[in-house]
Structure 1
Amino acid sequence: MKTGSGTIKGSRSGIYARKSGTGDLTVTTGAGTVTGGVYGIDARNKGQGSVVIETGAGMVTGNSVDGIFAYNTRFVAVGDNVTVTTGTGAVQGQRNGIRADNWGTGFIDIATTGDVTSNASAAIYALNSGANSTDITVKTGPGTVQGSTRGIDARNFGQGSIKITTGGGVTGNADEGIYARSVNAGDIGITVASTGTVTSLGPHGDDFAVASTGASTTLIVSGTLKGGGGGAVEFDQTNAYNDRLELRPGFQITTNGAAGAKNTVLAGDGTDTLAFGGTGEDTFDLGDIDDGTNTKQFRSFETFRVESGTWSFSGTTTEAFSQTGGTMKGTGTFGGLTVTNGTLAPGNSIGTMTVNGNFTLGSGSIFEVEVNAAGQSDKVLVRSGGSVNLTGSVLRVMAQNGNYNPTTDYTIIDNDGADAVTGTFSSVTSNFAFLTPSVNYKAGDGNDVVLTMVRKTTGGGGNTGGGTTGSGGTSGSGGTTGGSPSGGGTSSGGTSGGGTSGGAPTYVSFCSVAQTRNQCNVAHALDAFPTSNPLFGSVLTQTVAGARQAFNALSGEVHATVAGTLVDDSRYVREAVLGRLMQAGHSGEALSASGPQMATYDSGAMMLGGADLYDGKSLVEVPASAPLAFWTRAFGAWGDFDRNGNAASAGRDLGGFVSGMDAQLFGTWRVGVATGASFSNVSVDDRYSGADVDSYHLGGYAGGMVGPLALRGGGMWTWNEIETSRAVLFPNFYERQKADYDAGTGQIFGEIAYPTQVASIGVEPFAGLAYVSVDSDGIRERGGPQASLRGSSFDQDVGYTTVGLRAAKTLSWGDTEITPHLSAAWLHAFDGVTPGASLAFATTGLGFEVTGVPLAQDSALLDAGVDFAISDKLSAGVSYSGQYADTVADNAVKGRLTWLFN
């Protein structure tokens, strides 16, 4: 049967369902409430099949017995399963909130979402009474389960197991929070999830948060247990079952807070295991493990094992531990320790772990040791005459940031016993890029394990002994470095040492870990430093990641990138001059809007779009009528230059102006001079670098008509004052470096165009050439003593071609003439798109080449704007200009003003 959102109320049962014969008995409720004077829902199967009850959002109440009663036949060989699933609605009963009795051959499965409560007994009672019945499974969700006696009471007289999982609160007001009994020795499994809390409020000595009897029990605790008068956990105390308590990160085992409540965990008489598993990290105090006095929290466990997760141990125990997975950390003291798999990492950061007994690192285990530049390291103290066995294990050395002395010794196993160390590490690794651990297994009093950090080599030549050249030295961790009579290679075919010494060892180069050309160039220079140089030592003791960061930080890449931006910025000066020449050549026409001057006005001139002629000539041939013109163009730009796998990305902000004066010459030609200033900021954030550039421009230009073609050209020189600043930052190193120097930018440029009109729109296809050259003074950084750079002048030469089309149309708006205009072009750069600089370290003079972020090889130029005539002598305009390429995005806003004099 199935109910909806209405209210159901009965004097005995809100819903009573009984079935005989075959088939399942199913009851489903929705959002409506169900209330009965005895049972809320009473479902009884007297025949074959299962009982299935599903409730929804509505509350179910049984006022004198059970909220939900699910009963399967007493005919043992006939009945099947009992399944109860509740929704968000609460279930409340006087005796039990939910009671499931199965006398058949199947299982009981109870899953709750909302609250389940009872006033006289257990909130959830699951009973498999049939001798052939199977499992009991109870799973609670976020709702509260609270019983007058027990929260959950599960008893299995059949052949199956009991599995209980809690996701919310489960409370027993007078007895256990969870009680599980297995009569025929089916296993019991109880899981308290991270969101679960199981509490006993019972005050008596037999009241526990969790209690089990009759079978081996596995209890997994990721959540919270709050013990009652007896404690937190009690496994079977009569029979010798093998019980297991697994603690997972986030667990808490405490009391209910009442006077006399306990947090003790009582294992049984079998071989019981306290295991540490799960994922994530947690801590454990070994002092909570009972020492036979029955006064501590965890009692009667025989086996202690770390299986997964990361566990940090403190305190002391006399018990021996094993590790089969996960990570063990901390400063705890153990009665013995055997690691067959997983990672042992003493300390929390750097610290000491103690083993009062045998210490074994087996195959599959990793011994992870932290070291620092002060000579401190993680270590294990082996005491009480314990033995040390390292056969098959791996040593992994983790270096903290610092300026290391490469010959520092670190005692990582301190053994007070008399026996020699058994076995060696199968491999030794570290996170140093250029240092490797060398291990001595007979240090101290003959059986301590000591590591020393030595420079990595690729192996040197061996000795010549008895006329036969010895083999090469062994490279890598723990090997004997070739290159000396006592250590390089083994003698062969004669007496040892009878010949000459082999070659010197070859050290692993700094460049071997570099990922870019700039990094490698810097690394090669550093490789040639004296080993006593402080900067050399700072790099030598880096990790791979730290070394790469160091190479980038030391490169001075910003100097090369600035050279590239100076070349790129020259475009704005060039465009301003060419724009003025184009404007002057189209006085009174729409195409003049592309220049600093708006369309000039003369009493006889016609605006583009008319069909009339002026002086018998086409409009595009109208001469510039003003004998003298002053103009100015202001611009502001912001751009990004993307990294190229070598140099870092750069950003550039630019603002400036160009002003000029020109006069009419030879009829249609104009000749003028231009000057201006611009100010830019270059940022290379990934290199913690930047530059401020103040630029001052001066040049000349000329342009005119040759038949139907317009010729325009000019030359400009720019004085650039550059101030750079960079933070040289990598692990355990910081300096601030600054430099001031000058650079000059020279450029010559020309353009040929064919102005015409199409459908009353002025159009002009054009092509241009430009040559730009940047040359700087020498670079001398000032700042910290170790990383400052010197550089000879850098230079960069780039040629450009431009091909494009301009269009404009002049419109009347009342008494004002406005001209929208558009230009699109392809800009191609020849050679020189990757700027470079030759630099050297000031302390040693050792140099390297570095390149900056490249300019775009090919890009699209777009210019769009609108101009307007203020009067016949004064015009203004504003436009947007953009440069677009795969690796460059540059945007600018331009404004201009022109004043004509007759």
Structure 2
Amino acid sequence: MTRANAITFAGGTNILELQAGSIITGNVVAFSSADTLRLGGNASASFDVSQIGTQYLGFGIFKKAGSSVWTVTGSNSAAMPWAVNAGTLAVNATMANAIMAVNGGGTLAGTGTVGSVIVAGGGTFAPGNPLGTMTVQGNLAFQSGALYLVQVNPSTSSLANVTGTATLTGGSVQAVFAPGSYLARHYTILHANGGLGGTSFAGLTTAAMPTGLSATLGYGANDVFLNLTAVLGVGTGLAGNSQNVAGAINSYFNGGGALPPGFLPLFGLSGASLSNALSQLSGEATTGAQQAGIKLTNQFLTLMLDPYAYGRGGVFAGGNAGTGGALALASEEALPPEIALAYAKVMKAPATPMPATVAPQWSAWGGAFGGTSKTQGDAVAGSHDLTAKTGGFAAGLDYKVAPGTVMGFALAGGFTNWDLAGGIGGGSGDAFQAGLYAVTRPGPWYLAGALSFSQHWMKTERTAFAGNRLEGRFDAQSYGGRIETGWRVATPLGGVTPYAALQAQSFHAPGFAESDLNGGSFGLAYASRNANATRSELGARFERLVAVSDTALVSLQARAAWAHDWVSDPTLTPTFQALPGASFVVAGATAVPDLALVSAGAELRLAGGWSLAGRFDGELAGRGQTYSGTGTVRYAW
């Protein structure tokens, strides 16, 4: 094709600057190779480099000037030295012999091919549009103050692929992150076939870095890597449980694991939103099973060893004669006449100050029990307030094996229910309980003991981050024992019995895995757990007998004591099922060690061996309270 010359330079050193909107239909002929073809202006435009040598003839210098972005396309194999002095030159062309000098204020970008590149101080090399690969057919060198600009998205990054060597000394990297959920932790941002010559970048800065991630540079023999490190929650003052969950997620990601998509929105959260989400993931709700199980066993042991139960003691019995049971008064204690008369009618015995024969040998009883407790969480540990409810029905049989000695057994069916504050979750359970007990009183002192076993069928429920519902089911067992001794002192107002007791329990929960009902990958697998609870008690019991008619007596009862508990910390070790090896420790609300025990109750004892009783018990402390009650009916014969 023959084209007329539109511009012909004659003499001197000339510059032709093209700006956006420039239209030249003919040839442009330079005077010599000292003439410059310059792409300039302030508006973006494009240029086909295949026109150099065909339409633009004889130019030997090529520059980019002005703040504009010029995109060059096409292909040209000529040796062309380019200087990028200002704005951006986006090379989407093949210019394998074009040597690029990127000077201060200039940016070289694009996904094409260029010759060797030198980036001076203040200059920027930014391969990609913005993502993609630019090929450097030659060497790449960064001078002091030069910038290597890398674009990153969740799946890939921009890259410079250098066929020669790359000299990095003096340059620095800026990584700009696109919005999104980042699964990858390892990006190759520069490759040089000829190696890096032992050089490295002077530093790294980031822009729009996703919350919960940090970036570092890594180096191989021929590559530069951008490595993402999960730092979810690091340095944000998270409470213990939340930080432990974040640590497990961080460790999994940093160890090379790919996070399931459900976890990725966590990295966009901060402050209270992040703390709440991590708390929901922690599985803390399951820690309430321990306290609920211990409370249920405690109530069962207390019910079996009720020292005031009809047929076991109180002022009905004379010590060695043992008519009233093991917890009787000393034989020398005499009843007031009106009470002795009522006693005689109730017991079908002569109205003597003290009965002399053993009347009831057997006693059958049934009772309902229940209670509620609240334990405060710990803000530092990240545990939440725990409310536990327990209840059930028990039945038992006493037998007087000897004067002053009663043995018996009891069976019970019960339930547990617990909830954590803040919507963290909770659980429930059904239980079967069995126990053996014995009390003996050879004189004013007594000794009592009980053993119990509980089988629990428990279920946990919680709602995790993003509304995912999770359930867990497991069978647990409780073993308990209590031993108590005291000395009864008769006073004009009634009996006073200082006592001491020691109680021990063991709660075993097996390992189990939750079911994720919404498929959010947040299900946890819990390691098995053994928890122990030991209690010492020092206090006194009080009793006063009142005749309400000539066929009925009322026993008024009370207790005041101090208890000290040694309870295993309610901690569990869960693992995210979707993140193998991502285990952590979660702590629940810790039981209060020192408590004031108070009780008040009454028993109505009727003629014919029947009795009805009710009692209130309280365990009081600054960070936790338990309130419970029992109601029993008993028949002795």
Task: Say yes or no: TM over 0.5.
Answer: yes
- 1:553 and 2:287 matched: no
Contact 2:386/2:419, CA 8 A, preserved across alignment: yes
TM-score, length-normalised on structure 1? Answer: 0.43
Runs of 5+ unmatched residues, structure 1: 1-407, 410-434, 439-449, 486-496
Contact 1:839/1:849, CA 8 A, preserved across alignment: yes
CA distance in 1, matches of 2:325, 2:613: 8
Contact 1:589/1:810, CA 8 A, preserved across alignment: no
Structure 2 counterpart of 1:807, from 527, 533, 542: 542
Residue 478 of structure 2 aligns with which residue?
745
Contact 2:383/2:587, CA 8 A, preserved across alignment: yes
TM-score, length-normalised on structure 2? Answer: 0.60
CA distance in 1, matches of 2:555, 2:518: 57
1:22-56 deviation line (CA, Å, top 9, x unaligned) = xxxxxxxxxxxxxxxxxxxxxxxxxxxxxxxxxxx
**SS state at 1:809 partner:** strand
Q: What is the CA-CA distance between 1:692 and the residue it aligns to?
A: 1.5
CA distance in 2, matches of 1:598, 1:666: 9
Residue 32 of structure 2 aligns with which residue?
none
CA distance in 1, matches of 2:531, 2:267: 34
Contact 2:426/2:461, CA 8 A, preserved across alignment: yes
Q: What is the CA-CA distance between 1:465 and the residue it aligns to?
A: 7.7
Residue 413 of structure 2 aligns with which residue?
677
Q: What is the CA-CA distance between 1:830 and the residue it aligns to?
A: 1.5
Structure 1's 835 and 560: CA in aligned 2 closer, same or farther, altered over 3 A? same
CA distance in 2, matches of 1:722, 1:589: 43
CA distance in 2, matches of 1:789, 1:514: 25
Structure 1's 788 and 591: CA in aligned 2 closer, same or farther, altered over 3 A? farther
CA distance in 2, matches of 1:875, 1:632: 11
Contact 1:597/1:896, CA 8 A, preserved across alignment: no
Contact 2:241/2:587, CA 8 A, preserved across alignment: yes
- 1:483 and 2:210 matched: no
CA distance in 1, matches of 2:423, 2:236: 18
- 1:570 and 2:301 matched: no
Residue 865 of structure 1 aligns with which residue?
601
CA distance in 1, matches of 2:200, 2:336: 93
Structure 1's 884 and 621: CA in aligned 2 closer, same or farther, altered over 3 A? farther
Residue range with higher mean Cα deviation, 465-474 or 525-534: 465-474
CA distance in 2, matches of 1:659, 1:608: 33
CA distance in 1, matches of 2:577, 2:597: 42
Contact 1:589/1:599, CA 8 A, preserved across alignment: no
CA distance in 2, matches of 1:518, 1:763: 47
Structure 2 counterpart of 1:773, from 503, 506, 511: 506
Q: What is the CA-CA distance between 1:762 and the residue it aligns to?
A: 0.5
Partner AA of 1:516 in structure 2: A
- 1:821 and 2:544 matched: no
Residue 368 of structure 2 aligns with which residue?
634
1:531-552 deviation line (CA, Å, top 9, x unaligned) = 4411331212223322211111
Matches for 1:105-184 after TM superposition, within 5 Å: none
Q: What is the CA-CA distance between 1:632 and the residue it aligns to?
A: 2.3
Residue 422 of structure 2 aligns with which residue?
686
Residue 277 of structure 1 aligns with which residue?
none
Structure 2 counterpart of 1:473, from 185, 200, 204: 204
Q: How many residue pairs were aligned? A: 433
Residue 246 of structure 2 aligns with which residue?
523
Structure 1's 509 and 725: CA in aligned 2 closer, same or farther, altered over 3 A? closer
Contact 2:296/2:391, CA 8 A, preserved across alignment: no
CA distance in 2, matches of 1:893, 1:705: 27
Runs of 5+ unmatched residues, structure 2: 1-128, 131-153, 158-175
**SS state at 1:483 partner:** strand
Structure 2 counterpart of 1:541, from 262, 268, 277: 268
- 1:655 and 2:391 matched: yes
1:290-328 deviation line (CA, Å, top 9, x unaligned) = xxxxxxxxxxxxxxxxxxxxxxxxxxxxxxxxxxxxxxx
Matches for 1:406-805 after TM superposition, within 5 Å: 452-453=178-179, 471-474=202-205, 481-484=215-218, 504=227, 506-513=229-236, 515-527=238-250, 528-529=252-253, 530-580=257-307, 584-586=311-313, 588-589=315-316, 607=335, 625-645=359-379, 646-729=382-465, 733-782=466-515, 783-785=517-519, 786-805=521-540
CA distance in 1, matches of 2:355, 2:265: 71
Contact 1:598/1:898, CA 8 A, preserved across alignment: no
Matches for 1:21-420 after TM superposition, within 5 Å: none
**SS state at 1:559 partner:** helix
Residue 631 of structure 2 aligns with which residue?
895
Structural RMSD (CA): 4.3
Q: What is the CA-CA distance between 1:774 and the residue it aligns to?
A: 0.4
CA distance in 1, matches of 2:386, 2:353: 46
CA distance in 2, matches of 1:452, 1:712: 72
1:512-546 deviation line (CA, Å, top 9, x unaligned) = 43622111111122221434411331212223322
Residue 19 of structure 2 aligns with which residue?
none
CA distance in 1, matches of 2:336, 2:295: 34
Q: What is the CA-CA distance between 1:851 and the residue it aligns to?
A: 1.7
Q: What is the CA-CA distance between 1:501 and the residue it aligns to?
A: 5.3
Q: What is the CA-CA distance between 1:453 and the residue it aligns to?
A: 4.0
CA distance in 2, matches of 1:498, 1:740: 53
CA distance in 2, matches of 1:500, 1:789: 39
Structure 1's 676 and 755: CA in aligned 2 closer, same or farther, altered over 3 A? same
Q: What is the CA-CA distance between 1:498 and the residue it aligns to?
A: 9.6
Structure 1's 621 and 591: CA in aligned 2 closer, same or farther, altered over 3 A? closer
Contact 2:215/2:227, CA 8 A, preserved across alignment: no
CA distance in 2, matches of 1:620, 1:551: 68
Partner AA of 1:840 in structure 2: T
CA distance in 2, matches of 1:478, 1:809: 75
Residue range with higher mean Cα deviation, 734-743 or 500-509: 500-509
CA distance in 2, matches of 1:502, 1:684: 45
Contact 1:866/1:877, CA 8 A, preserved across alignment: yes
Q: Work out the percentage of aligned pairs sharing the same amino acid.
A: 20
CA distance in 1, matches of 2:383, 2:263: 23
Q: What is the CA-CA distance between 1:562 and the residue it aligns to?
A: 1.5
Q: What is the CA-CA distance between 1:886 and the residue it aligns to?
A: 1.4
Structure 1's 581 and 503: CA in aligned 2 closer, same or farther, altered over 3 A? farther
Q: What is the CA-CA distance between 1:809 and the residue it aligns to?
A: 0.6
CA distance in 2, matches of 1:759, 1:471: 92
Q: What is the CA-CA distance between 1:718 and the residue it aligns to?
A: 0.4
1:102-141 deviation line (CA, Å, top 9, x unaligned) = xxxxxxxxxxxxxxxxxxxxxxxxxxxxxxxxxxxxxxxx
Q: What is the CA-CA distance between 1:819 and the residue it aligns to?
A: 2.0
Contact 2:325/2:403, CA 8 A, preserved across alignment: no
1:393-448 deviation line (CA, Å, top 9, x unaligned) = xxxxxxxxxxxxxxx99xxxxxxxxxxxxxxxxxxxxxxxxx9xx9xxxxxxxxxx
Q: What is the CA-CA distance between 1:585 and the residue it aligns to?
A: 4.0
Structure 1's 609 and 499: CA in aligned 2 closer, same or farther, altered over 3 A? farther
1:674-720 deviation line (CA, Å, top 9, x unaligned) = 11111222112413412121111101111102453200001000011
Structure 1's 514 and 476: CA in aligned 2 closer, same or farther, altered over 3 A? farther
